[in-house]
């Protein structure tokens, strides 16, 4: 099967140029002007942009939390991702008592319904000699990343000594440690005090997780990485001070990389004080306008490396069903914490929103260039996580994960456009200029305007090798 895309403007992380592009079966085979080919399909992309499919490095699908589960699974979340221009998503495996192989097998079973290509990171939530010896086996499974936590005491957190040892093991095996950076001790103390004083409303989620805890934890993680001579990737940077710490460490040669997410660019802790404030509960929490500004500066100046989503959606009111693909569904959600903010499931929808929102309010607004947009949403995560140039690239030999983007398409965004399986959208009513028109996964057209042409099981598990430190 051959598809010839004619007269498009290709945008990569470094270049912008007009060209044709030939897809043969699952790969890009030729790029150039005035290509001639005996193709089965020809697409006229005059006036349109051609982008590599998005790579979302940070999603949580079918994740158990607080007596419920995140409302998107590996089909519904992937379908939503595709409509937003993302063709690869990386999920996190929960480490079970039975060990790494058993845990990965459970997530592989969940992902049998995958609609786009996918890979996994491993949550490293306990550490002993047995675990230490098993870590290198993850590379044989095609997983080169470990996620550690400096928060969630007694549940997910490792002590600094264990994190340091994990960094050393990762260094010796071509792996990468990812870090959730907050101060777990401060959070536990403030949360206990808030509840004792009767503070149970959503805004106290932010009050009990101060930004300074994220700032000092990020620098501490960078310091441990430098002392271990190992790279580290700090997830969901949310505070302006974290950008400062990232810049400080990178200027001194520390192999530390930073990710932020759209919610930390557009919303603040004030959203939690609204009547529907539970919709904005995520961890780490939203911060201030000043933090938003500094994060944008971190992107404009190439201090940060990626933009993920931390997509982990829950219903706002799980007692009321929605219709999804013709059937009613209701999943317990944020109403579980109606009288106690500590019981509100932590997480937001965003896997479809990322690229369209960032195009209008990042690129069109002048905060980032189109090439930076491609770097942050596709090429850089592909490089860091050992997928480049198979993913994140418009070059011969790369997978034909391609987005034809209409820069003139106007959309009044919200639930009517979102395929995320939940009952609200953070960007309801936002006006967009520029939107995906067609999306190809390994050469197969899976999104054509408003039409879904993909299916369960289209996605492929991606074994990853050692990535790059950017």
Same domain? For 417 and 355 the reply is: no
Please give the pLDDT value at position 39. 82
Residue 69 located in a structural domain: yes
Tens of pLDDT along the chain (470 residues) come to 899 999 999 999 999 999 999 999 999 999 999 998 888 899 999 999 999 999 999 999 999 999 999 999 999 999 999 999 999 999 999 999 999 999 999 999 999 999 999 999 999 999 999 999 999 999 999 999 999 999 999 999 999 999 999 999 999 999 999 999 999 999 999 999 999 999 999 999 999 999 999 999 999 999 999 999 999 999 999 999 999 999 999 999 999 999 999 999 999 999 999 999 999 999 999 999 999 999 999 999 999 999 999 999 999 999 999 999 999 999 999 999 999 999 999 999 999 999 999 999 999 999 999 999 999 999 999 999 999 999 999 999 999 999 999 999 999 999 999 999 999 999 999 999 999 999 999 999 999 999 999 999 999 999 999 999 99
| Among 258, 254, 285, residue whose Cα is nearest residue 272 | 285
Count up the domains in the chain and report the number. Answer: 2
Residue 465 located in a structural domain: no
Residue 91 located in a structural domain: yes
Parallel, antiparallel, or unpaired for β 41-44 and 145-149? Answer: unpaired
Same domain? For 88 and 212 the reply is: yes
Same domain? For 280 and 337 the reply is: yes
Same domain? For 260 and 366 the reply is: yes
Contact by Cβ (8 Å): 254, 226: yes
Residue 94 located in a structural domain: yes
Contact by Cβ (8 Å): 228, 171: yes
- Distance in Å from the first CA to the final CA of the chain: 36
CA geometry: angle 58, 55, 349, nearest 5 deg: 45
Helix locations, 260-401, DSSP H: 263-266, 289-300, 354-358, 370-374, 380-384
Contact by Cβ (8 Å): 20, 4: yes
Please give the pLDDT value at position 38. 87
Same domain? For 68 and 108 the reply is: yes
Residue 369 belongs to domain with CATH number: 3.20.20.140
Same domain? For 19 and 119 the reply is: no
Please give the pLDDT value at position 399. 98
Contact by Cβ (8 Å): 349, 72: yes
Report d(CA 329, CA 314) in Å as an integer.
12
Please give the pLDDT value at position 117. 98
Residue 324 located in a structural domain: yes
Residue 278's domain spans which residues? 53-384
Residue 470 located in a structural domain: no
Residue 406 belongs to domain with CATH number: 2.30.40.10
Same domain? For 256 and 244 the reply is: yes
Same domain? For 33 and 95 the reply is: no
Parallel, antiparallel, or unpaired for β 68-69 and 256-260? Answer: unpaired
Crossing angle for the helix pair 160-172 and 211-228, to the nearest 10 degrees: 50
Residues with Cβ within 8 Å of 325's Cβ and at least 6 positions away in sequence, in order, are: none
Residues facing 117 on adjacent strands? 88
Same domain? For 69 and 181 the reply is: yes
In 10 A of CB 365, how many CB atoms? 11
Please give the pLDDT value at position 37. 87
What φ, ψ does residue 412 adopt, rounded to 5°? Answer: -90, 105
Same domain? For 281 and 402 the reply is: no
Residue 64 located in a structural domain: yes
Helix (H, G, I), strand (E, B) or coil at 465: coil
Last residue of a domain, one of 361, 384, 407: 384
| Among 422, 428, 425, 420, residue whose Cα is nearest residue 320 | 422
Residue 463 located in a structural domain: no
Same domain? For 303 and 351 the reply is: yes
Report d(CA 326, CA 299) in Å as an integer.
40
Same domain? For 7 and 91 the reply is: no
């Amino acid at each position: 099967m051959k598809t010839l895309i004619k007269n498009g403007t290709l945008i990569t992380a470094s270049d912008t140029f007009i060209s044709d592009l030939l897809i043969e079966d699952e790969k890009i085979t030729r790029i150039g002007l005035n290509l001639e080919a005996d193709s089965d399909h020809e697409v006229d992309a005059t006036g349109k942009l051609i982008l590599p499919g998005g790579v979302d490095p940070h999603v949580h699908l079918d994740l158990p939390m607080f007596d419920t589960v995140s409302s998107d699974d590996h089909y519904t979340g992937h379908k939503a991702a595709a409509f937003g221009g993302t063709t690869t998503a990386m999920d996190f495996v929960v480490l079970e008592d039975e060990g790494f192989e058993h845990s990965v097998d459970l997530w592989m079973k969940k992902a049998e319904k995958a609609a786009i290509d996918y890979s996994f990171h491993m949550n490293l939530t306990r550490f002993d000699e047995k675990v230490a010896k098993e870590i290198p086996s993850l590379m044989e499974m095609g997983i080169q990343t470990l996620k550690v936590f400096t928060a969630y005491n007694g549940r997910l957190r490792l002590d600094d000594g264990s994190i340091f040892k994990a960094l050393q093991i990762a260094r010796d095996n071509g792996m990468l440690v990812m870090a959730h950076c907050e101060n777990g001790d401060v959070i536990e103390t403030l949360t206990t005090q808030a509840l004792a004083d009767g503070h149970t409303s959503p805004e106290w989620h932010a009050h009990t997780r101060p930004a300074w805890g994220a700032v000092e934890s990020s620098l501490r993680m960078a310091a441990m990485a430098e002392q271990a001579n190992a790279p580290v990737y700090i997830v969901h940077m949310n505070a302006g001070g974290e950008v400062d710490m990232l810049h400080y460490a990178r200027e001194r040669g520390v192999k530390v990389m930073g990710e932020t997410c759209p919610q930390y660019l557009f919303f603040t802790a004030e959203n939690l004080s609204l009547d529907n404030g539970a919709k904005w509960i995520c961890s780490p929490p939203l911060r201030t306008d000043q933090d938003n500004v500094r994060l944008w500066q971190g992107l404009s100046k190439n201090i940060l490396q990626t933009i993920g989503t931390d997509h982990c959606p829950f219903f706002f009111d799980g007692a009321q069903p929605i219709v999804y693909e013709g059937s009613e569904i209701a999943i317990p959600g944020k109403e579980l914490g109606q009288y106690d903010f500590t019981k509100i499931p932590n997480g937001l929808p965003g896997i479809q929103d990322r690229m369209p929102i960032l195009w209008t309010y990042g690129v069109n607004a002048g905060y980032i260039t189109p090439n930076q947009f491609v770097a942050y949403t596709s090429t850089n995560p592909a490089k860091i996580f050992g997928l480049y140039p198979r993913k994140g690239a418009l070059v011969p030999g790369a997978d034909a994960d391609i987005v034809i983007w209409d820069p003139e398409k106007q959309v009044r965004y919200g639930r009517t456009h979102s395929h995320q399986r939940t009952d609200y959208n953070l960007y309801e009513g936002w006006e967009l200029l520029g939107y995906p028109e067609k999306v190809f996964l390994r050469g197969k057209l899976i999104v054509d305007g408003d039409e879904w042409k993909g299916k369960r099981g289209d996605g492929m598990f991606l074994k990853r090798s050692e990535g790059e430190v950017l």
